[in-house]
Amino acid sequence: MDTELYGVAQIRAIEQSAAASLAPGELMRRAGEAAAAYALELLGGFPTGVVLVLAGPGNNGGDALEVAANLANLGAAVQVVHLAGANPSAETQQALERARASRARFVDDIGDGSADAARCLVVDGLFGIGLARPLAGRARALVERIAGTDCPTLALDVPSGLDADTGAVVGPDGIAVVATHTITFLGNKPGLHTGDGTDHARRVHVDWLGTDASQPAQARLNGPQLFAAHLAARRRNTHKGSFGDVAVLGGARGMAGAAILAARAALFGGSGRVFVAALDAGLGIDPAQPEIMFRDAAGFAFDERTIVAGPGMGDADIARHLLAQAIGGAGPVVLDADALNLAAASDDLRARIAQRAGPTILTPHPLEAARLLGVTAAIVQADRLENARELAQRLDAIVVLKGAGSVIARPDGDVAINTTGNPGLATGGTGDVLAGLCGALLGQGWPAWEAALGAVWLHGAAADRLVESGIGPIGLTAGELPRAIRAELNALVAQR
């Protein structure tokens, strides 16, 4: 259930449904107990050291005051900075009275008295999912101050200043708490797992506070459970024709590397045969992987092959002509890089994509998605889920909006957020590898939705495997990914 993601409106409905059968203030008390228990885990199981609790004026602040009272009663040295509101709810007022009756010490600022001593934990309960404006004034100053501490920070429900729906920091010049841990209540939230949320929420723990979901999930976290049905061990009685032909359309002069990276990913992703339909007729062999066959793109037979179009394709007239030819077939197509930019510049190409009968996957980064939607990259990043949905619906295709917490969307509105990967992927060529892997899975008969989910997860898991082995994240290269992808894919199949 923790892999399902709920928007703010859904969380409000879940909260209202749960509260209807509970005593007033019971959900807040449960939140305080759950967060205090998690805080104790972060403290090593013992209430030692100093815990600084930042409590805001609303119900999120009430949760924080409950945490303060619970930890203080357990013997922790708790200091509370409370930003009082003009009209607190009855529940928040009760939590304040409990905190004041406990051993917690209320201070005016972080620098007061013993608050200068080494602290074990900061608890962020300034603002929750209802924040609609950028942090300002005293709240902003507190967030800036705790950013300079070395102690871990536990955010309650959502790091203050972060939009729980979108994963964007609220406001163009906004600021948000950078937590080391987040305990989120009454359901997981999409904004904790994509965009800025990946840096601000960090490790996310979900506590349902003894309730159940009363709303359908808005999205879900990607994982092998979503594509496991296609992780079948290979039968012995097979041959190269059993696992599909993938052709990479790209490799214009000076850009051969992109096409080669995509082709290598298709090869190591299990394709039976891999071609590069090169726009540069001079390309003839990949010395590192001579299994890849090179053909002149002009006159290449695209039928009955899975096409990965775009890596190193360029924007010449011949590229547009060949792209129209490739998407005109009925077979699976993956569109990446230059193919997306060509489509963004052509109403006709976009119409052809939307009218395709065969499976189609698009793998844009935010700027490419922005070009296709006719907006800016900042607008795309401000609501990654909604923009991925919009693009999938417009072009009737599976869309992978790349980035931290890549968003996979399909035309019916279903969305998944990927959980694997690291900053090592922020280097040239990794997108070409992803496109090639998407093609490999499509060519082996995976449906487009599962192929996109599987490719994105494996791509990120391969990067994680490399970092765990001491390769990166700084200096990780796209060329190192295909072999790591092969290892991850075989490991998943072996677990079945």
pLDDT at position 115: 41
- What is the gyration radius of the CA atoms in the chain, in angstroms? 26
* Least trusted range by pLDDT, from 75-84, 104-113, 328-337, 352-361: 104-113
Q: What tens digit of pLDDT does each residue of 443-469 get?
A: 999 999 999 999 999 999 999 999 999
Checking phi first, is residue 80 left (phi over 0); if not, alpha (psi -120 to 50) or beta? Answer: beta
Angle formed by the axes of helices 90-101 and 26-42, nearest 10°: 50
Structure confidence at residue 91 as a pLDDT band (50, 70, 90): very high
pLDDT above 60 (res 113): no
Measured from the Cβ of residue 495, the count of other Cβ atoms closer than 10 Å reads 9
Q: Give the pLDDT score at 251.
A: 96
Q: What is the per-residue pLDDT for 119?
A: 52
What the block records as the tokens of 412 is: 């019916």
* pLDDT higher than threshold 90 for residue 386: yes
Q: Which fold has domain 4-219?
A: Rossmann fold (3.40.50)
Phi first, then psi: give them for residue 417, nearest 5 degrees: -115, 130
Please check whether residue 424 is in contact with residue 473, taking contact to mean a CB–CB distance below 8 angstroms.
yes
- pLDDT digits 0-9 by tens, 372-385: 999 999 999 999 99
Domain boundaries, the chain: 4-219, 224-495
Residue 297 makes CB contacts below 8 A (sequence gap 6+) with 249, 251, 277, 278, 279, 318, 322
The string of pLDDT tens digits covering residues 251-263 is: 999 999 999 999 9
Q: In the CATH hierarchy, which top-level class contains the domain 224-495?
A: alpha beta
Is it the case that residue 142 has pLDDT exceeding 90?
A: yes
The structure tokens 């957020």 sit at 417
Q: What is the pLDDT of residue 116?
A: 39
Per-residue pLDDT of 33-59, as tens digits, reads 999 999 999 998 888 889 999 999 999
Q: What tokens appear for 439 in the block?
A: 């093609």
According to DSSP, the residues that pair with 188 across neighbouring strands are 5
Report the percentage of the chain scoring pLDDT > 90: 90
Mean pLDDT for the stretch of residues 337-346: 98
What contacts 257, CB < 8 A, 6 or more positions away?
312, 429
Kindly tell me the burial class for residue 280, based on how many C-beta atoms sit within 10 Å of its own C-beta (0-12, 13-18, 19 or more): buried
Question: For residue 393, what are the CA distances in angstroms to 57, 159, 353?
Answer: 41, 31, 12
Provide the pLDDT for residue 118.
Answer: 44
pTM score over 0.85: yes
pLDDT at 8 over 80: yes
Query: What's the whole-number mean pLDDT along residues 174-182?
Result: 97
The one-letter amino acid code at 416 reads A
Residue 1 has pLDDT above 70, yes or no: no
Average confidence (pLDDT) over 19-26? 93
Mean pLDDT computed over 312-340: 97
Could you tell me if 295 and 245 are in contact, meaning their C-beta atoms sit under 8 angstroms apart? no
Which residues have C-beta within 8 Å of that of residue 20, sequence separation ≥ 6? none
Asked whether residue 64 carries a pLDDT value surpassing 50, the answer given is yes
Across all residues in the chain, what is the average pLDDT? 95
Tens-place pLDDT, residues 122-136: 999 999 998 989 999
pLDDT digits (tens, 9 = 90+) for 391-426: 999 999 999 999 999 999 999 999 999 999 999 999
The whole-number pLDDT of residue 117 equals: 39
What pLDDT does 213 receive? 86
Is the predicted pLDDT of residue 112 greater than 80, yes or no? no
Angle between helical axes of 26-42 and 59-73 (0-180°, round to 10): 60
- CA 209 to chain centroid: 25
Question: At a CB cut-off of 8 Å and minimum separation 6, what does 101 contact?
Answer: 69
In this predicted structure, what is the pLDDT of residue 111?
Answer: 64
Torsion of CA 472, 475, 478, 481, to 10 degrees: -20
